[in-house]
């Protein structure tokens, strides 16, 4: 668990963080969101002391982070940034093994671990392990960034707008991947985004900030149904009911079974993809969608009437 008590950060006249209190439960994914300049990146970086707070207390699993050597603290916390930040002169496998290397793991152990992590993020280690970052797409590099952050098995992962530099389709795939990985590894994750839909899809809780302070800290459903104030309601924006659909996978709405042959030409969507994007495809004119599992096998189909329960 991470507990931030009365965290302040001042830059001369600028108050970047103003007495922030936040408790992040073990194994939960908390999204920090808010308008540009509200302090979300500063708050994220205070957790691993890339930024030293001006005041307050940071407790990680009961230990005062301000008593820990900041270099050791940072090695014990995974960190993922927007453009992956891979070392261009190291292979993918070596990039993933960077923190285990710093921690003194044997070569065999750290390279085995790197391959295990590449497989976890669905990159075949035999195919990608010896390549260099520039030989991968942006989305693949981002997966490597996640593999690298998880390599030393940290309890805490900090993710700073990790998916904001990729195209919308890749972004949705990466969000699905993160949810799948999180079901396996159950890390305590702090995730910064400026995208409310991403926050709703990923967050166990959302922390909405403004002017260096927390405006509302709640699970997405509560925030959508009961915004704390007019600012929160405005930030969530139009159609909160539709936004809530982002919490569901299309598999929750599909009719299971082998789709009829007449549907053979229909667009295919992954079972774990968001119900909201399936609904937009259906509203956009597709009469049905075939739902496929992770191996690509059809497991059901979905059409507009399957969303009728929402009405």
- Nearest approach in angstroms of CB 263 to ligand ADP is 45
Q: Which of 36, 238, 262, 287 binds ligand ADP (CB under 6 A)?
A: 36
Question: Which among 29-37, 104-112, 200-208, 281-289 is the span making contact with ligand ADP, rule CB under 6 A?
Answer: 29-37
- Nearest approach in angstroms of CB 39 to ligand ADP is 4
Rounded to 5 degrees, what are φ and ψ at 153? 55, 55
Q: Give the contacts of 264 (CB within 8 A, at least 6 positions apart).
A: none
Answer for the pair 200, 224: CB distance below 8 angstroms, yes or no.
yes
Does 37 engage in binding with ligand ADP (CB under 6 A)?
yes
Question: Which among 35-43, 69-77, 114-122, 243-251 is the span making contact with ligand ADP, rule CB under 6 A?
Answer: 35-43
- Nearest approach in angstroms of CB 6 to ligand ADP is 17
Q: Which of 41, 57, 170, 182 binds ligand ADP (CB under 6 A)?
A: 41
By beta-carbon proximity to ligand ADP, the closer residue of 34 and 129 is 34
Does 39 engage in binding with ligand ADP (CB under 6 A)?
yes
- 58's tokens: 């940071």
Residue 34 has a CB neighbour count (10 Å cut-off) of 24
Cα–Cα distance, 164 to 177 (Å, whole number): 15
Strand order across the 213-218 sheet = 77-80, 156-160, 188-192, 29-33, 205-210, 213-218
Answer for the pair 233, 227: CB distance below 8 angstroms, yes or no.
yes
Does 11 engage in binding with ligand ADP (CB under 6 A)?
yes
| Residues forming the site for ligand ADP (CB under 6 A) | 11, 14, 16, 34, 36-42
């Amino acid at each position: 668990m991470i507990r931030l008590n009365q965290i302040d950060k001042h830059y001369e006249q600028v108050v970047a963080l103003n007495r922030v209190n936040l408790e992040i439960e073990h194994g939960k994914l908390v999204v920090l969101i808010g308008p540009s300049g509200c302090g979300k990146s500063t708050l994220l970086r205070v957790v691993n002391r890339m930024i030293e707070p001006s005041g307050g207390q940071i407790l990680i699993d009961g230990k005062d982070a301000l008593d820990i050597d900041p270099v050791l603290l940072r090695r014990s916390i995974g960190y993922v940034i927007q453009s992956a930040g891979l070392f261009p002169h190291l292979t993918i496998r070596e990039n993933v093994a960077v923190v285990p290397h710093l921690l003194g793991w044997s070569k065999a152990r750290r390279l085995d671990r790197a391959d295990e992590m590449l497989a976890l993020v669905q990159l075949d280690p035999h195919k990608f392990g010896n390549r260099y970052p520039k030989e991968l797409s942006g989305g693949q590099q981002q997966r490597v960034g996640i593999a690298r952050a998880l390599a030393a098995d940290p309890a805490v992962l900090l993710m700073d707008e990790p998916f904001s530099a990729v195209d919308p389709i890749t972004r949705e795939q990466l969000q699905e991947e993160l949810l799948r990985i999180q079901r396996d590894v159950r890390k305590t994750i702090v995730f910064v985004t400026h995208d409310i839909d991403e926050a709703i899809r990923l967050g166990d809780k959302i922390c909405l900030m403004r002017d260096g302070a927390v405006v509302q800290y709640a699970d997405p459903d509560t925030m959508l149904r009961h915004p704390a104030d007019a600012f929160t309601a405005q930030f969530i924006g139009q159609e909160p009911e539709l936004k809530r659909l982002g919490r569901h996978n299309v598999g929750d709405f599909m009719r299971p079974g082998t789709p009829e042959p007449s549907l053979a030409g229909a667009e295919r969507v992954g079972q774990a993809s968001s119900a909201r994007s399936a609904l937009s495809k259906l509203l956009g004119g597709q009469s049905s969608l075939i739902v496929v599992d992770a191996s690509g096998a059809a497991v059901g189909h979905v059409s507009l009437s399957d969303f009728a329960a929402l009405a």
